[in-house]
Structure 1
Amino acid sequence: MDHVIKTLTPAARPPEAPGEVPAAPLRARPSRAEAEAAVRVLLGYIGDDPDREGLVDTPRRVVSAYDELFGGYHENPGEVLERTFSEIGTYDDIVLVRDIPFASHCEHHMMPFVGRAHVGYLPVERVVGLSKIARLIDIFAKRLQTQERLSSMIVTEIDTVLKPRGVAVMLEAEHTCMSMRGVQKAGSRTITTQFTGVFRDDPKEQFRFVSLVRNGIG
């Protein structure tokens, strides 16, 4: 199957992850000028002067950065996994991609959380390119998220599109909304896991996945 990328219109909302409750309709997307004006308001709110030399171009730069940091809203994650490969011989064991770096933003404070993802699945006749798993994580991470929801979206998309015998995901991340504000506990990590199929039903497979992630052995 040819891999086709569809560009969504700027005001469109990407499809919800399978099983996700449909979101309320979006308002019309503000213009870039309106977004830059909002940044100027925030600069004034924190007590600085938006017109001083160092900040004159800051609204433009912030909006450009947001276009990149939140680009996942304008990509369809299902299309990333469309192209699969059947030439795997008799292989039917776990495919694991670990230590995939990702960066996302907490939907509560819009502050970054940064970490690594470990994704495994048990294929049925076909596999997906390894880089596509990393790409899928990026699409979901480049949206406002909670780590729990990010874990669920990754698992659900792989399970729905590839239909493997099981999916296992572990995310480890440090949240700056906890390390830089609030309790200010730098270095603390949050770990989330989610399993489907064989990994959910067989504790031995869960243990093997975790062992491969931690020690490279299973």
Structure 2
Amino acid sequence: MEAVVKKFPEKTDGAPVARPSRAEAEAAVETLLRWIGEDPAREGLKETPKRVVKAYEELFAGYDEKPADVLGRTFEEVAGYNDVVLVRDIKFHTHCEHHMVPVIGRAHVAYLPDGRVLGLSKIARLVDLYARRLQTQEAMTAQVADALDRTLKPRGVAVILDAEHLCMSMRGIRSQGSSTFTATYRGSFADDAAQQDRILRLVGCGG
């Protein structure tokens, strides 16, 4: 079966990526099973390669979506509201690009409208889109902020991620219960320490 050539969104070099066939992906999982010392032919593992590939289709579905499509339409009828809009405690799970081990956390996304607002569920969908890709937490924080800034063009954007990296708790130093905090600010939030402190207090991270 021939490899499927698919252009993933937002590739840095713009070049198409050759996606292997499903059969090739399943064979790769079987190879890993053999490498760890398992027998792919035993009853409990016979269907594992197919299950893993099917699971990966869901876990990494973010490569097939575009932020502009997820964010969709905006609304201009805001009845004069011009203060911060904050969606906090958006639960997400992603996979670190270094070890492909889960990262589990919460995202807090805020923006200052400039005459237009989004449906609140769209922000959660944007976080989910980027979570369903291989990630570093720093990159994901910036990606969510940039996509919201680019699509909505608000006066300011703030994105905060607080997450546990299982690559730290399951392997390596095995630090249990530690979390990583990242924050980025765009527009009027970028140089306004008072606004940044306000956002941190609203999400429960401030003093």
TM range (shorter): over 0.9
Distance in 2 of aligned mates of 1:172 and 1:23: 30
* Secondary structure of 2:123 counterpart: helix
Structure 2 residue 97 is matched with structure 1 residue 107: yes
Structure 1 length as normaliser, TM-score? 0.90
Name 2:139's counterpart in structure 1. 149
Name 1:188's counterpart in structure 2. 178
The runs of 4+ residues in structure 1 deviating greater than 4 Å are none
CA positional deviation for 1:26: 4.0
Once structures 1 and 2 are overlaid, which stretch shifts more, 130-139 or 79-88?
79-88
Name 1:78's counterpart in structure 2. 68
Cα displacement string for residues 146-171 of structure 1 (whole angstroms, at most 9, x for unaligned residues)? 00000000000011111111000100
Gaps of 5+ in 1: 1-8, 17-21
* Secondary structure of 2:111 counterpart: strand
Structure 2 residue 48 is matched with structure 1 residue 58: yes
Give the direction of change, closer, same or farther, for the CA distance of 1:92–1:176 in structure 2 (3 Å limit): same
Conserved? CA contact 2:5–2:17, under 8 Å: no
Name 1:165's counterpart in structure 2. 155
The amino acid across from 1:34 in the alignment is E
Give the direction of change, closer, same or farther, for the CA distance of 1:180–1:32 in structure 2 (3 Å limit): same
Gaps of 5+ in 2: none
The amino acid across from 1:160 in the alignment is R
CA positional deviation for 1:15: 2.9
Name 2:187's counterpart in structure 1. 197
The amino acid across from 1:145 in the alignment is Q
The amino acid across from 1:52 in the alignment is R
Report the structure, 1 or 2, having the larger strand content.
Answer: 2
Conserved? CA contact 1:84–1:129, under 8 Å: yes
The amino acid across from 1:57 in the alignment is E
CA positional deviation for 1:214: 0.5
Name 1:11's counterpart in structure 2. 6
Name 1:117's counterpart in structure 2. 107
The two structures, once aligned, show a CA RMSD in angstroms of 1.5
